[in-house]
């Protein structure tokens, strides 16, 4: 089973700042099989990024995904008030499909 | 638009059973694989089970294998999860989610579509509480 480790656990930032979230896999994950989700309290997860860098439908372009070796990154270029939430990465390269433990982006 | 609506959650004693359902609309249900994903209170996401578009193939996480059964009724656009021998650690919000599979291997199980949209639509979830 592939273990995904997200860092940091919590990111304290102000609106307008840039957020950089990391996701590292315990085994090789092809870039075609890495997704990012946003989850707000009491809501279901929402797909933001798939295939490491493709934005899902209706996702603003301030959200972007990238890959560097074994590390995957979600970047929010300028935080809007509605972006404060928990973010999960997921690999779907190898079953069982697994999620990272999440990064909480909170208002500083 | 795509809609997934779960139902069937509740409070159940350890060792008992519960059947969850997910009603789908807004897309051609019988062309997509469907999944169950759960989230324990205050915890992260855990994928539980997947079923192929036609119901012929199923795959489970080790944590529920032998206790849970995923099924679908394509004539009614509904997904089910029959849970049995429930344990307190099964307490969670259970979500259904849609995905696209590239295929199924007898050796390694389901394969997602390369570059595919992972779990692109989710229901709002149904809470299962296992407690005496």
Q: What is the pLDDT of residues B40-49, one digit of tens each?
A: 999 999 999 9
Query: What pLDDT score does B115 carry?
Result: 87
Beta bridge partners of A19: A76
* Residue B89, SS3 per DSSP: helix
CA angle, corner B34, sides to B69 and A64, nearest 5?
135
Q: Closest partner residue to A99 among B44, B50, B124, by Cβ? A: B44
- Nearest-Cα distance to chain A for B37, in Å, is 10
Contact B129, B18 (CB under 8 A): no
pLDDT band, residue A23 (cuts 50/70/90): very high
* pLDDT surpassing 90 at residue B105: no
- Nearest-Cα distance to chain B for A57, in Å, is 9
> How does pLDDT run across A32-86, given as a tens digit for each residue?
899 999 999 999 999 999 999 999 999 999 999 999 888 999 999 999 999 999 9
pLDDT band, residue B19 (cuts 50/70/90): very high
- Taking the Cβ of residue B114 and every Cβ of chain A, the question of whether any pair is shorter than 8 Å is answered with yes
Q: Which chain A residue has the Cα nearest residue B107?
A: A95
**CB-CB under 8 Å, B108 with A51:** no
Task: Report residue A55 CA to chain centroid gap.
Answer: 11
CA–CA separation, B14 and B11 (whole Å): 10
Query: What pLDDT score does B59 carry?
Result: 96
CB < 8 Å to A49, chain B: none
CA–CA separation, A86 and B27 (whole Å): 28
Average pLDDT rounded to a whole number, residues B62-82: 98
CB < 8 Å to A32, chain B: 114-116
- Within a 13 Å sphere around the CA of B85, how many CA atoms are in the beta-carbon half? 7
**CB-CB under 8 Å, B116 with A92:** yes
Q: Which chain B residue has the Cα nearest residue A51?
A: B115
CB < 8 Å to B118, chain A: 35, 47, 50, 90, 92
């Amino acid at each position: 089973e592939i273990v995904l480790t997200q860092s940091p656990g919590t990111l304290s930032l102000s609106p307008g700042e840039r957020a950089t979230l990391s996701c590292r896999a315990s085994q090789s994950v092809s870039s075609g099989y890495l997704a990012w989700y946003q989850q707000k309290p009491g809501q279901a997860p929402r797909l933001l990024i798939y295939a490491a860098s493709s934005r899902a439908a209706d996702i603003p372009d301030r959200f972007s995904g990238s890959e560097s070796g074994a590390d995957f990154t979600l970047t929010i270029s300028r935080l809007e008030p509605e972006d404060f939430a928990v973010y999960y990465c997921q690999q779907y390269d190898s079953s069982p499909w697994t999620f990272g433990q999440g990064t909480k982006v909170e208002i500083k | 638009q795509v809609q997934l609506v779960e139902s069937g959650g509740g409070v159940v004693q350890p060792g008992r059973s519960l059947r969850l359902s997910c009603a789908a609309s807004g897309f051609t249900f019988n062309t997509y694989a469907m999944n169950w994903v759960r989230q324990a209170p205050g915890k992260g996401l855990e994928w539980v089970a997947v079923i192929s578009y036609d119901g012929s193939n199923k795959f489970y996480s080790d944590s529920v294998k032998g206790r849970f059964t995923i099924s679908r009724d394509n004539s009614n656009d509904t997904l089910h999860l029959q849970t049995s021998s429930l344990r307190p650690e099964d307490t969670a919000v259970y979500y259904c989610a849609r995905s696209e599979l590239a295929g199924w291997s007898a050796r390694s199980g389901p394969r997602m579509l390369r570059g595919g949209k992972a779990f692109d639509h989710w229901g709002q979830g149904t809470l299962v509480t296992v407690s005496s």
